[in-house]
Chain A
Amino acid sequence: MTDQRSQAEIVRQSLKRRYRKERRFRAYGILAIAIALSALVILFADIIGKGYSGFVKTTVTLDVQLDGEMMYIDDATDERQLKMADFVEPLIQALMKEIPGATEEDRDAVRDLINPYASVTLRDALQANPDWLGTTQTMTFLTHTDVDVYVKHGDDDAYSIKLTEEQQAWVDRLLEQGLIDTSFNDVFFSNGDSRDPSKAGVLGAIVGSLLTMFVTLVLSFPIGVAAAIYLEEFAPQNKFTDFIEVNINNLAAVPSIIFGLLGLAVFINLFGMPRSVPVVGGLVLTLMTLPTIIISSRAAIKSVPPSIREAAEGIGASKMQVVLHHVLPLAMPGMLTGSIIGMAQALGETAPLLLIGMVAFIVDVPDGFFDSATVLPVQVFLWAGSPELAFIERASAAIMVLLAFLISMNALAIWLRKRLERRW
């Protein structure tokens, strides 16, 4: 027999224990969040620390003397002459002038400071302005990647500096004079991939990603939502629909590379569609995101209170009207959120695209759904696997671009949800 006082005592004791438990539980929660946040901070610090230099380019400004005799050209409008002309020599001469003490023997060493594509830049400039022939022009060119690495990471042991001591001294001098300078890397955002790191950009991958995402969105959202509405609102409850439901749930858990194999076998081998194109990539990613969209859309439809359905039915709305006027608008924020999360998943997907050939080295920016393309995560994959250190910073920079896309997509999801919710 327990009397009143000892009972209160027991309650007090257990209260103490309960509060301790609560405090412990809260501490676990805070710890978990702290771990997650610090992982995120480390990730971002690492990527930004490595990648910010990818957004910087190194250029050299030279007074180039466009001497026809030296370049073996007398008419800058003649295509044939332009093709044959020597555009490297004026660059070497211009740079030699800026380096006192450089002799003919140092020609090759001087040449190696200038980007191999600088001569192309010069030719294009001359082609655009034929009257420049015989004049001296001040122009800015990309430096060689080795110079770029030296300027950015000269004091970093992780980077091997390929310049000789002599070249390093020249670069230091030119830096002091302000002839070699760093600026925002517009090349990174206006070029496709390249073998030369300083010419490599993400525009091709961005356009490829956008085209692929467009195909994925246009196919997976309507199909997914329609499937969800049918299964949730119209389908009879029987073995067959149960079977479909189980399969959809299983598909959501299938590794994405399997979808790549499926795409290879069905779209490319069976239907004979071209490799490496955004349409096939979009189709494969559609298959991959459909289960996610269907499941989240069904959850959104299920969460519409039955009282709203009854209210509409009670006034005499037909099944279709109930769905279109009431269920869909109420479920739309949930559906959109699910779809955008599915799309974000697809945007970051690499494995299935490797199998359908989107991993190819593609220099041109794709100009259509049937043009060979690559996508951002695959570009990151390609650059991260490259032996050249200058590509590593570009891989990190590309990751930052990818993250920016993902964050803006999620922000869009939140904004859309807020906006749609405010309407009621």
Chain B
Amino acid sequence: MNTLNTTVTSEAEMPEENVVPVQEEKPAETVIEEGKTVGRPFADDAKFKLRNVEVFYGQDRAIKNISLDIGRNEVIAFIGPSGCGKSTFLRCLNRMNDSIDICRVKGSLNLDDQDIYDPKRDVVELRARVGMVFQKPNPFPKSIYDNVAYGPRIHGLANRKSDLDDIVENSLRKAGLWDEVKDRLDATATGMSGGQQQRLCIARAIAVSPEVVLMDEPCSALDPIATAKVEELIAELSESYTIVIVTHSMQQAARVSHRTAYFHLGHLVEVNETNKVFTSPEHELTESYITGRFG
């Protein structure tokens, strides 16, 4: 009978509903101690050594005193509700935040014991070592070949055409795309399917042989089959690269990563072996999140 009225009220309450669980977690929130991360945030053989990292957007503190090690050839997944700072943190690792004027980064961030944010450090060299794959597939509007060859070209990695051809083929093979596109390398990349485009972006990122690949929700725009392919690829790549992946899918984090880091409102709440995080989380917030009580 009263359908109209009920829908109106429920709509009006929608935003509140989002707030309510957080308010319920209020006692839990006080448990977050700034800079204190439960679990195993440090590694013995660290590729990245990140200490007391803080990121500001103007006056807002988006990342609050996070310390974390990312091990060599490790796949680490960042999970957490939207707006918790996991993407911001990821983008600090190859200084993609530089182009945002109001963004400031504090703390010590080291890649192989070299300061990432050293003003004298060349960001181009850093990004050649730390590649990135984005949320939305973003191939250049050029041919498939040119997409993969772009990185090696600008960094001067191949002097001869044949070397470049080899790099392109190897990268596409590693990305599991070679068989699908070997006959149409000159075709424009924007004509491929979404999954192919994303794998092309991965091929493009690994064509400059980086040491680390950062992935910002690489599968969020893909269907399950394409997602499965990308995940397989991540597993293969983990043999030779360090991979940091931000994901909203906990199943994905569970499938591909060795360690999982749970972010909450700019804090790094818990870091641990992936199976530990998903089977016996130490922190209440982590537990609430992975059991789907919010987020």
Interface segment among A164-172, A240-248, A303-311: the answer is A303-311
On chain B, the residues within 8 Å of A315 by CB distance are 127-128, 131, 150-151, 154, 204-205, 208
- When the two chains form their complex, are residues B154 and A317 in contact, meaning their CB atoms are under 8 A apart? yes
Chain B: residues with Cβ within 8 Å of the partner, total of 33
Once A307-B134, A311-B134, A424-B188 are accepted as A-B contacts, the answer to whether A316 and B208 lie under 8 Å apart by CB is yes
On chain B, the residues within 8 Å of A236 by CB distance are 101
Within B189-226, the residues touching A (CB, 8 Å) are 190, 201, 204-205, 208
Contact of A137 with B by CB under 8 A: no
**Bound Cα distance from A35 to B130, whole angstroms:** 60
- When the two chains form their complex, are residues A2 and B4 in contact, meaning their CB atoms are under 8 A apart? yes
Contact of A318 with B by CB under 8 A: yes
| Number of interchain pairs (Cβ within 8 Å) | 71
Chain A: residues with Cβ within 8 Å of the partner, total of 25
Within A261-309, the residues touching B (CB, 8 Å) are 305, 307-309
Contact of A155 with B by CB under 8 A: no
Shortest Cβ distance from residue B246 to the other chain A in the assembled complex, whole angstroms:
14
Contact of A314 with B by CB under 8 A: yes
- Within 8 Å by CB of B141, from A1, A314, A330, lies A330
**Bound Cα distance from A2 to B94, whole angstroms:** 59
Once A307-B134, A321-B154 are accepted as A-B contacts, the answer to whether A313 and B127 lie under 8 Å apart by CB is yes
Contact of A219 with B by CB under 8 A: no
Residue from A7, A309, A315, A317 having most chain B Cβ neighbours under 10 A: A315
- Within 8 Å by CB of B134, from A237, A314, A330, lies A314
Closest to B135 in A: A307
On chain A, the residues within 8 Å of B190 by CB distance are 424
- Within 8 Å by CB of B138, from A1, A4, A310, lies A310
- When the two chains form their complex, are residues B136 and A237 in contact, meaning their CB atoms are under 8 A apart? no
On chain B, the residues within 8 Å of A310 by CB distance are 96, 132, 134, 138
Within A312-346, the residues touching B (CB, 8 Å) are 312-318, 321, 325-326, 330
Contact of B23 with A by CB under 8 A: no
Contact of B140 with A by CB under 8 A: yes
Contact of B276 with A by CB under 8 A: no
Residue from A3, A316, A325 having most chain B Cβ neighbours under 10 A: A316
- When the two chains form their complex, are residues A313 and B140 in contact, meaning their CB atoms are under 8 A apart? no
**Bound Cα distance from A1 to B151, whole angstroms:** 66
Sample of 5 more A-B contacts, CB < 8 Å, known A3-B1, A325-B154: A1-B2, A313-B96, A315-B204, A317-B150, A318-B124
Q: List 10 A-B contacts (CB under 8 A).
A: A7-B4, A307-B138, A309-B99, A311-B204, A314-B127, A315-B150, A315-B204, A316-B125, A330-B141, A424-B188
Q: Which 8 A-B pairs have the closest CB atoms?
A: A424-B141, A316-B127, A314-B132, A307-B138, A316-B128, A315-B151, A311-B138, A316-B124
